[in-house]
Chain A
């Protein structure tokens, strides 16, 4: 818990200039902002929030989270006009220092993973066949492969996987010239024939633990 608090305080001191709050009326307010912005959108302990379209963070690999935060900060991700969720994330990351990214990654690492609810249902058998291409990088159980820069897919919110695959296919994500891994995904995602194939493959990932 102590570690968690330190991380929070540090990451937020980077996010906002620490002006003291003026008391409004007679109700006292404390002297500094200590709110945890990450969980406002991503849910308590990063369980993900479908209503905000903010994905699960609990259970995410540290190296992958770090890379994505750095990509958002650099404008490599979240700058395409059609990537609405990415655009929502970018201002948060834009102000992070290397130190606060490290703190956030450590903070998120403390969160307990709770299995995600299944919201996407397609043809699992067809999805299994299609997934063989994905498995080359993401692993046969979609457990991820750091050496190849491919994150785990199993356990992520299925609606998020669906949205990101659609984004890659439409060039909303991964089209930035410095997004090395994203550009690979643009190519790979286009091997899926149509949107139904995308739904099928996500349905198959739902069966992997």
Chain B
């Protein structure tokens, strides 16, 4: 089945090979692992200052927790009935407060059966998330982000039947190695490398791709065995031809095992029992400082503080504070009267709201384990995109399967609940024939329509090329407190949205600024 690739084909495929020297130059950065030391917070203590904190996303809770520890008088206002914003775990009894699509989760009441509808993974370099988990005694476990036995399904390959991740990735890895080793004979490439470097590279390629002595890929037992392997000699499985591998765009997902910006590869973590364990660890300690069902109705920055109007039980209250930390999504602040400067409002209105969508169901049985899958992700060329299998409670009775995760949201927001469910079942049963039969009580979360959120991770840059100068400028505008009193926090106030670590660091950044101000005030 192997279809050898000629050098010309290889070069055509790669488009250009002048990139090698670029890669070598980039190597100068090797060894500089992005450092992410947990912050040491040492705020001025017991100064009697009063602080209003708007929202209960993790940036707000971080702020409230640190300030409370230092003796500040904090009041936290939350519009919703629950804390956490996009750190939202669904389990038995949870209300999914989607506008126009109210749902109540009726899964079995079992601590293993939950669905992290927002944040779901903690990388090991997200030191500040981990620091709070440790400090607040939130028990963590390993999250399995990649399983080589999970599936890759695309109607364009293998007649639409799913292929094991390992069959796909071993073959792809083999061909990449084979092609690159052929290219090493090319004088242009050779001139960039010393003989010793070439040898090292070749040796790595042989191993990376599991090439034979002729530096060709003829299959690998890394994909498991075709036959035997234990009592008998193992044979390799058939190789999937390169051209067949290239029929699916899913390669870009399957071949990447490390989440962007997380540094830590397939090793990720999750709190035992759901991501909101972190939220409730903060919230329980903050106690009645948090006022739920208290939507903010006005934010007025004054010379000597901030006045925040909010409603509770139908009555408008005004909270007067020395400082205000605000993690209300920027697109909701557009609908809340305020007296922010024009350029601050312009920057707030510029940030677009992300449109992510997730869905999950309780599975009657852990059917994936019967297919040799324990955690990890199956990739599907459909708007549902991903199927996640729970890495915890292995061999338990039931489990919750994440049945869709579309970071762009596709058009799920506009679909009815019935259509969303049919969609996830339709695409899922191409991967697992008994999927429909196994799925109990599906839940869907379209962040664009979640009450008090109306969006997922904020989007700053409008061009794929990165942040424009104007965007950088607006970002800096929002990082400066209005009148030294009002701080915008949350992942909207960072350049790497969608991660808890970013949100926490935005709080730390604002806290450092606050601390400097209060210390410099005349006694």
Give me the interface of A with B, judged by CB distance under 8 Å: 1, 4-5, 8, 15-17, 19, 21-22, 24-27, 29-30, 33-37, 39-45, 47-52, 54, 87-88, 90-92, 94-95, 114
Contact = CB atoms under 8 A, between A and B. Distances in A.
Nearest to A81: B414
A47 B314 contact: no
A1 B314 contact: yes
Given A22-B92, A51-B353, 16 more contacts: A1-B315, A24-B82, A25-B276, A27-B292, A35-B80, A41-B335, A43-B336, A44-B297, A50-B349, A51-B332, A52-B332, A88-B414, A90-B100, A91-B101, A91-B416, A91-B449
A33 B80 CA distance: 9
A25 B284 contact: yes
Contacts, number: 121
B452 interface: yes
Q: Nearest 6 CB-CB pairs, A to B?
A: A43-B335, A22-B93, A91-B100, A25-B280, A49-B335, A51-B331
A95 B100 contact: yes
B335 A52 contact: yes
B134 interface: no
B104 interface: yes
Given A22-B93, A37-B451, A92-B100, A54 B280 contact: no
Contact of B283 (A4, A27, A34): A27
Contact of B280 (A4, A22, A27, A114): A27
B11 interface: no
Contacts of A40: 99, 332, 451-452, 454
B83 interface: yes
B334 A52 contact: yes
Nearest to B88: A24
B334 A49 contact: yes
Interface string B64-108: 000000000000000111110000010111110101111010000
Contacts of A34: 293
B298 interface: yes
Contacts of B153: none
B99 A44 contact: no
5 contacts: A21-B93, A27-B290, A40-B332, A49-B332, A88-B414
Contacts of A88: 413-414, 449
B83 A44 contact: no
A18 B101 CA distance: 13
A15 B334 contact: no
Contacts of A30: 81, 292-293
B174 interface: no
Contacts of A50: 334, 349
B337 interface: yes
Contact of B81 (A8, A21, A43, A92): A21
B118 interface: no
A103 B3 CA distance: 70
Q: Which of B81, B277, B279, B295 lies at the interface centre, i.e. has the most chain A CB atoms within 10 A of its CB?
A: B81
A40 to B, nearest CB: 6
A155 B162 CA distance: 57
A15 B451 CA distance: 13
A94 B99 CA distance: 11
B81 A33 contact: yes
A26 B79 contact: no
